[in-house]
Amino acid sequence: MSRRINLAVIPGDGIGQEVVTQGLKVLRAALPQDVKLETQEYDFGAKRYHATGETLTDADVEQLKAHDAILLGAIGDPSVPSGVLERGFLLKLRFLFDHHVNLRPSKLLPGVATPLAGQPEIDFVVVREGTEGPYTGNGGTIRKGTPHEVATEVSVNTAFGVERVVRDAFARAQARPRKKLTLVHKNNVLAFAGHLWTNVFNEVAKEFPEVTTDYIHVDAATIYLVTDPGRFDVIVTDNLFGDIITDLAAAVSGGIGVAASGNINPSGEFPSMFEPVHGSAPDIAGQGKADPTATVLSVALLLRHLGYEAEAARIEEAVAADLGERGESTRTTEEIGDALAVRVTG
Ligand SMILES: NC(=O)c1ccc[n+]([C@@H]2O[C@H](COP(=O)([O-])OP(=O)(O)OC[C@H]3O[C@@H](n4cnc5c(N)ncnc54)[C@H](O)[C@@H]3O)[C@@H](O)[C@H]2O)c1
Ligand SMILES: CC(C)[C@H](C(=O)O)[C@@H](O)C(=O)O
Ligand SMILES: [Mg+2]
């Protein structure tokens, strides 16, 4: 029986197009012949915004719903006021498609440079809540532009939202060899949200007796991510803490150019979206300097999500082999993509 993947492709801004081209190249190389890949490209991002004033319309959302998954490069451009595309496109889509599990694995592969002393074992997954916290846009400004301006940005945490992501993280920890889950929060100061997260975490823990649990304040977590990253197996945390610690996690485990992510809608009601952790990197856009590895590894997450485990593993092996031999080489975006595609095919 022939199989089919109907993929939405959103290159976006800056280095987005460059890295997505390579991601698709490796995806095509990895798929067996009986799998038909259909792609539809969408032009969301700065160019469309300047031409039409639109970021993501209702009609766009309807079209996107029809896909099995979405591959995104990056969104955001210096020519557009900060937040317009990030909120109006990226967060809007994560919220509308209920991407409440934002999955961000970090693995330091053999031979890969890290700023950390020695070559520590780093192999953990951050399960970042994706639809709540301070990201909901709940807040406002009064006396704007005056010396007495007041701005609020409310962190929204619901028992429903916290429980489902905590449960997902416990299940992921249970399925890993070390079976350890760390809650990262700031319950010593953010007492209301912290209470909800800690309580839910402790309640759900009772259903997973095999999973060892731990709690670390987010500020201390940034210490341990640098001094003792091996202590982490699965981390569950809120939307903003998860955003911040996953850039740090990337920096210590091979760099932002290799950090992949999946915005998962576990029920499958809406398509999940896979994207590198990094942004549009306007400082290096158009120069062939962007590392496409994060996008390629996001393609592996996408394939695993759609049930193509063997193909996902082949891509990860190709990346591990390539990274192990990279050393100080300065290949272009395209050269790295080509090398990965060859390894995946061979
Ligand atoms: N998911 C997304 O679409 C996403 C994520 C983060 C930031 N952004 C947006 O991207 C824009 C730029 O944000 P930023 O500068 O804070 O973060 P960034 O991740 O784009 O860049 C941070 C640094 O990492 C480097 N970098 C990023 N990706 C790289 C790659 N693949 N290879 C090599 N180096 C890479 C950049 O050159 C830069 O020095 C902003 O508009 C921001 O809102 C979008
Ligand atoms: C661009 C921004 C909205 C986004 C986030 O904060 O989630 C980005 O930093 C990320 O990590 O995907
Ligand atoms: Mg981020």
Domain residue limits at 320? 1-104+271-346
Ranges 114-118, 255-259, 269-273: which has the least confidence: 114-118
**pLDDT tens digits, one per residue of 193-213:** 999 999 999 999 999 999 999
Name the binding residues for Mg(2+): 219, 243, 247
Q: Residue whose CA is closest, atom 5 of ligand 1?
A: 279
Gap between the Cα atoms of 233 and 122, Å rounded: 9
Question: Is 287 inside a domain boundary?
Answer: yes
Question: Is 165 inside a domain boundary?
Answer: yes
Structure ipTM: 0.99
- How far the first Cα of the chain sits from its last, in Å, is 24
Q: Is 233 a catalytic residue?
A: no
**pLDDT tens digits, one per residue of 305-314:** 999 999 999 9
Number of neighbours of residue 190 by Cβ within 10 angstroms: 18
β pairing state of 150-153 and 123-129:
unpaired
- 157 with 59, same domain: the answer is no
- 236 with 339, same domain: the answer is no
Q: In the predicted model, is pLDDT for residue 272 greater than 60? A: yes
Q: Is 243 a catalytic residue?
A: yes
Q: What is the DSSP string of 38-75?
A: EEEE--TTHHHHHHHS-SS-HHHHHHHHTSSEEEEEE-
| Ligand that lies nearest to the alpha carbon of residue 296, given by its number in the listed order | 1
Gap between the Cα atoms of 185 and 100, Å rounded: 17
* Predicted local distance difference test score (pLDDT) of residue 2: 62
- 100 with 127, same domain: the answer is no
- 209 with 82, same domain: the answer is no
Question: Of 253, 283, 308, which closes a domain?
Answer: 253
Share of the chain above pLDDT 70, in %: 99
Question: Of 201, 226, 253, which closes a domain?
Answer: 253
Question: Of 223, 253, 283, which closes a domain?
Answer: 253
Q: In the predicted model, is pLDDT for residue 1 greater than 60? A: no
Q: In the predicted model, is pLDDT for residue 276 greater than 90? A: yes
Question: Is 266 inside a domain boundary?
Answer: no
Question: Is 220 inside a domain boundary?
Answer: yes
Gap between the Cα atoms of 62 and 83, Å rounded: 23
Catalytic residue among 186, 233, 308, 322: 186
Q: Are 45 and 14 in contact (CB under 8 A)?
A: no
β pairing state of 234-237 and 123-129:
parallel
Q: In the predicted model, is pLDDT for residue 326 greater than 90? A: no
Q: In the predicted model, is pLDDT for residue 172 greater than 90? A: yes
Mean pLDDT of the chain: 97
Question: Is 258 inside a domain boundary?
Answer: no
Task: Using pLDDT thresholds of 50, 70 and 90, give the confidence band for residue 154.
Answer: very high
* Predicted local distance difference test score (pLDDT) of residue 327: 75
Question: Is 264 inside a domain boundary?
Answer: no
- 138 with 180, same domain: the answer is yes
Ranges 43-47, 96-100, 116-120: which has the least confidence: 116-120
Check residue 153 and give left, alpha or beta (phi > 0: left; psi -120 to 50: alpha): beta
- 211 with 166, same domain: the answer is yes
SS3 241: helix
Name the binding residues: 94, 104, 128, 219, 243, 247, 279-291
58: tokens are 């209702």
Mean pLDDT, to the nearest integer, of 232-246? Answer: 98
Question: Is 262 inside a domain boundary?
Answer: no
- 236 with 139, same domain: the answer is yes
Task: Using pLDDT thresholds of 50, 70 and 90, give the confidence band for residue 17.
Answer: very high
* Predicted local distance difference test score (pLDDT) of residue 280: 98
- 249 with 118, same domain: the answer is yes
Catalytic residue among 42, 135, 233, 238: 135
* Predicted local distance difference test score (pLDDT) of residue 144: 97
Q: Is the pTM of this model over 0.90?
A: yes
302: tokens are 């996408």
- 173 with 94, same domain: the answer is no
Question: Is 263 inside a domain boundary?
Answer: no
Domain count, the chain: 2
* Predicted local distance difference test score (pLDDT) of residue 118: 85
* Predicted local distance difference test score (pLDDT) of residue 110: 87
Distance in Å, CA 246 to ligand 3 centroid: 7
- 202 with 307, same domain: the answer is no
Output 83-88 pairs: Cβ under 8 A, ≥24 positions apart. Answer: 84/49, 84/55, 85/13, 85/45, 85/46, 85/49, 85/55, 87/137, 88/49, 88/55, 88/56
- 288 with 245, same domain: the answer is no
CATH of the domain at 197: 3.40.718.10
Q: Is residue 106 in contact with ligand 1, taking CB distance under 6 Å?
A: no
Mean pLDDT, to the nearest integer, of 50-54? Answer: 97
Distance in Å, CA 286 to ligand 1 centroid: 14
- 99 with 21, same domain: the answer is yes
Share of the chain above pLDDT 90, in %: 95
CA atoms within 13 A on the CB side of 56: 23
